[in-house]
Chain A
Amino acid sequence: MFSEDTVLLLYEMSDVLIAGLSNGSVYALMALGMTLVYGVTKAFNFAYGDFFNMGGYFAWMLIIGLGLQFGGYVTIFIVVLPMLFGVGYAMEKFLISPLRKRADWENRIMMLTLGLALFLTNLYMVVFGVKLKSLPAILDGILEVGEFVFSYQDIMIFCLSLGGILLFGWTLNNTRTGMAVRAVAQNPAGAKIVGINIGRIFAATFAISTVMVGFGGILLSQKLFINPSSGGAIMVKAWVVTAFGGMGSIRGGLVAAFIIGIMEAFVGWIFGMSYGIIALFILLLGTLIIRPQGLMGKGE
Chain B
Amino acid sequence: MLKLSNVTKRFGSLVAVNDLSLEVEKGQIYGIAGPNGAGKSTIYNLITGFYSYEGKIEFEGKPINGLRPYQIVKRGISRTFQIPQTFPSLSVEDSIDIGNRFGNTAAYSRKRVDEVIDFVNLNRERKHKTGTLDLLGKKKLMIGAALATRPKMLMLDEPMAGSNAHEIKALMELIRRINQELGITIIIIEHFMKVLTELTETLLIIETGTEICCGHPAEVTNDPAVIECYLGREDDQG
In Å, the complex CA distance between A197 and B101 comes to: 12
- Inter-chain CA distance A183–B91, complex, in Å, is 11
Q: Which of B145-171 contact A (CB under 8 A)?
A: 145-146, 148-149
B224 within 8 A of A: no
B127 at the interface (CB under 8 A from A): no
Chosen A-B contacts, 12 in total, with CB atoms closer than 8 Å, are A179-B94, A182-B89, A183-B90, A190-B81, A191-B87, A193-B85, A194-B78, A195-B99, A195-B103, A196-B98, A197-B68, A198-B70
B103 touches A194 (CB 8 A): yes
Name the one of A183, A193, A197 contacting B81, with C-beta atoms under 8 angstroms: A193
Using Cβ atoms and an 8 Å threshold, which residues of chain B touch A176? 101-102
- How many chain B residues touch A (CB < 8 A): the figure is 31
Interface residue? A189 (CB, 8 A): yes
- Cα A293 to Cα B74 with chains together (Å): 40
A159-195 interface code vs B (CB 8 A; 1 in, 0 out): 0000000000000000010011011001101111111
The answer to whether A182 and B90 touch across the interface, beta carbons within 8 angstroms, is yes
Which residues on B sit within 8 Å (CB–CB) of A195?
70, 73-74, 99, 102-105, 149
Report the Cα distance A195→B49, complex, angstroms. Answer: 12
A194/B146 in contact, CB under 8 A: yes
Interface centre among B78, B85, B89, B99 (most CB of A within 10 A): B85
**B85 close to A180 (CB less than 8 A):** no
Asked if A193 and B90 make an inter-chain contact with CB atoms under 8 angstroms apart, the answer reads: no
The distance from the CB of B82 to the nearest CB of chain A, in whole angstroms, is: 12
- Chain A residue contacts of B102, Cβ below 8 A: 176, 180, 194-196
Q: Give the 4 A-B residue pairs with the shortest CB-CB distance, closest first.
A: A190-B85, A195-B102, A195-B73, A192-B69
Known interface pairs A179-B97, A194-B102, A196-B98. Does A186 touch B88 (Cβ–Cβ under 8 Å)? yes
Q: Is the CB of B85 within 8 A of A187?
A: yes
Closest to A194 in B: B99
Chain B 71-96: CB-based contact to A (< 8 A → 1; otherwise 0) = 00110001111000111111000100
- In angstroms, Cα B98 to Cα A198, docked, is 13
Q: A182-B90, A195-B99, A199-B68 are in contact. List 9 more A-B contacts (CB 8 A).
A: A189-B85, A190-B85, A191-B87, A192-B50, A193-B69, A194-B98, A194-B99, A194-B145, A195-B103
Q: A179-B94, A187-B86 are in contact. Are A193 and B79 (CB under 8 A)?
A: yes
Residues of B within 8 A of A194 (CB): 73, 78, 98-99, 102-103, 145-146, 148-149
The answer to whether A187 touches B87 (Cβ under 8 A) is yes
